[in-house]
Amino acid sequence: MAGVLAERARRVAEARLEPLATRLAHVRGVAAAAERLVSRIDPLEADALIAAAWLHDVGYAPSLRATGFHPVDGAVFVRAENFPPVVVSLVAYHTGAVFEARERGLSDVLAEFPQPPDFLLDLLTCADMTIGPDGSLMRPEDRISEILSRYPAEDPVHRAIERSAPTLLSAAARVEVLAQQATSGAE
């Protein structure tokens, strides 16, 4: 299902995140989850979505750190690497980035990127929210608890996840409904 774009994204992500083994395990799991979801729901969007899944956390690479806000740092890099605008916007806005941008005072920086289609953002969010740090499957509720446990209450990530949890859970639920409908419709 993954095409040329997703394969290129995989190579870029693995090269940039190689020093961050746990992060890379998570990214591999998210890419696999995205591929499973999109193949059932909308195969025409597969290449771009899977590419974005591979690249969604590339902004954590130490060599790419500029703002310290990984969605923006990643999107700047992905844009410079000439990935399509939809991939860039998915990286920029993935998994509640709007909430974290507010917490960090970087909403204006994030707004420099166009917003992605809601449907694709939901798919990427669902994939991200169902994969733990080590690449294992998790329920979205457990993933939120896991993230909150890693960051102290005063950290912008913690505050953003607290605020965005209902939005993230809703996105995952919408995708799960679509996936179930697609599966039952195929029978």
Burial (CB count within 10 angstroms: exposed 0-12, middle 13-18, buried 19+), residue 126: buried
pTM: 0.95
Confidence category of residue 187, pLDDT binned at 50, 70, 90: low
Which has more confidence, 186 or 165? Answer: 165
Residue 185 has pLDDT above 80, yes or no: no
Burial (CB count within 10 angstroms: exposed 0-12, middle 13-18, buried 19+), residue 29: buried
Q: For residues 149 and 13, give the distance between their C-alpha atoms in angstroms, rounded to a whole number.
A: 26
Residue 115 has pLDDT above 60, yes or no: yes
> What are the contacts of 170-174 at 24+ separation with CB within 8 A?
171/121, 171/122, 171/125, 171/126, 171/129, 172/122, 172/125, 172/126, 172/129, 172/130, 172/140, 174/122, 174/126
Q: What is the pLDDT of residues 33-88, one digit of tens each?
A: 999 999 888 888 899 999 999 999 999 999 999 999 999 999 999 999 999 999 99
